[in-house]
């Protein structure tokens, strides 16, 4: 069995528990030695990239230790996803719930209403941080603040115990101890998020975009292929995207289900035209799109 990241596979299990809203604000593990690497499950964060994060560690005594953006002590910031065939994902779409379905709908509803605002693209941002080797025994507070436009932040306590720790090597089966570029390959690449709005929920949306020619290579991503199908084409400067809603019955704030991402280091992305249609192929008026540049 391929191991890839030994630690990451464990963190993924923990992150799903926290996504369900059942866990508190805690690192993993809750105790560590000075010098160890800890993993901080930070919730649903959009701008927790290493080039935006300032990490402040307040020890039980002494002065704060501050890691500025791109400090090597912040090892990686990675988004982990729930299984699309999990009880949570299927439970929300089908209404199956209760002990017979591991309270799938209940947990998913908690995520949607309290954390994502009914955006169905769920993830848990996990930040890996090396603790300073000089931390005294006692409770230290680790604060993460992004300098992005959303002003996102997170703070967790970690109990520092006696002993001398060491940074985690992030061993992989074929690559050995991962270097920074290899480890950072799991992080989210810069992208544009294309969102839609309108008074009526359509069955399909066609959007035409343009971008700078000869820069990058566009790649279009739908975050939830189980609820929206996506087809796209690109001629080197113009991109056409067609999205079909997999359910005709409108759900709460369902326009968020049409959103998609444009990645691949393209620049100058602009919306040229938006057309929407109902299930019979008739035009739906009033649907608009906007672009948010992420990371």
The CA-atom distances, in angstroms, between 185 and each of 79, 148, 179, 180, 282 are 12, 21, 10, 9, 43
Two structure tokens written together for 198: 């309108």
Distance CA 211, CA 269 (A): 4
Cα separation, 278 vs 202, whole angstroms: 5
Angle at 62 between CA 56 and CA 64, to 5 degrees: 15
pLDDT in tens, 172-228: 666 666 667 676 888 999 999 999 999 988 999 999 999 999 999 999 999 998 889
CA distances from 207 to 24, 62, 78, 235, 245 (A): 41, 56, 30, 15, 14
Domain with CATH 2.60.40.680 in the chain: 191-294
Q: What spatial distance separates the first Cα and last Cα of the chain, rounded to whole Å?
A: 34
For residue 180, the tally of other CB atoms under 10 A from its CB is 12
User: How far is Cα 264 from Cα 218, in angstroms, rounded to an integer?
Assistant: 5
In this prediction, residue 248 has a pLDDT band, given cuts at 50, 70 and 90, of low
Is residue 16 over pLDDT 80?
A: no
Q: What is the per-residue pLDDT across 102-136, written as a single tens digit (0 to 9) for each? A: 999 999 999 999 999 999 999 999 999 999 999 99
- Give the model's pLDDT for residue 1: 36
β-bridge mates for residue 77, sequence order: 127
Assess contact for 206 and 242: CB atoms under 8 A.
yes
140, 58 in Cβ contact below 8 A?
A: yes
pLDDT in the model for residue 251: 67
Confidence band of 8 (pLDDT split at 50, 70, 90): very low
CA atoms within 13 A on the CB side of 129: 34
Contact yes or no for 53/148 (Cβ under 8 A): no
Token pair in block for residue 267? 């620049």
Q: Cα dihedral sign for 44, 119, 234, 213?
A: negative
% of the chain exceeding 90 in pLDDT: 75
pLDDT at 87 over 50: yes
191-294 CATH: 2.60.40.680
Name every residue whose Cβ is closer than 8 Å to that of residue 276 and which is 6 or more positions away in sequence. 198, 202, 204, 205, 206, 283, 284, 285, 287
Assigned CATH for 6-81+123-184: 2.60.40
Tell me: pLDDT of 23 over 60.
Answer: no
């Amino acid at each position: 069995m391929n191991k890839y990241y030994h630690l990451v596979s464990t963190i993924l299990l923990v992150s799903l528990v926290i996504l369900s809203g059942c866990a508190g604000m805690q690192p993993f593990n809750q105790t560590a030695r000075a010098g160890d690497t800890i993993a901080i499950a930070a919730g649903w964060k959009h701008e927790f990239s290493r080039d935006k994060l300032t990490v402040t560690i307040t020890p039980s005594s002494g002065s704060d230790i501050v890691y500025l953006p791109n400090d090597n002590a912040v090892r990686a910031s990675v988004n982990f996803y729930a299984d699309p065939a999990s009880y949570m994902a299927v439970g929300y779409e089908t209404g199956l719930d209760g002990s017979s379905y591991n309270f799938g709908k209940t947990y998913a509803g908690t995520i949607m209403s309290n954390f994502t605002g009914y955006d169905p693209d769920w993830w848990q941002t996990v930040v890996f941080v090396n603790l300073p080797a000089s931390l005294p025994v006692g409770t230290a507070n680790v604060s993460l603040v992004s300098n992005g436009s959303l002003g996102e932040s997170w703070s967790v306590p970690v109990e520092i115990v006696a002993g001398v720790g060491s940074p985690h090597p992030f061993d992989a089966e074929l690559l050995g101890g991962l270097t920074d570029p290899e480890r950072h390959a799991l992080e989210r690449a810069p992208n544009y998020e294309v969102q839609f709005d309108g008074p009526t929920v359509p069955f399909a949306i066609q959007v035409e975009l343009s971008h700078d020619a000869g820069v990058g290579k566009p790649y279009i991503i739908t975050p939830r292929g189980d609820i929206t199908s996506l087809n796209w084409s690109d001629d080197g400067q113009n991109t056409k995207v067609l999205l079909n809603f997999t359910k005709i019955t409108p759900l709460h704030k369902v326009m968020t289900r049409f959103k998609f991402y444009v990645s691949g280091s393209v620049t100058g992305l602009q919306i040229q035209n938006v057309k929407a249609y109902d299930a019979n192929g008739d035009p739906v008026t009033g649907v608009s799109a906007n672009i948010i540049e992420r990371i």
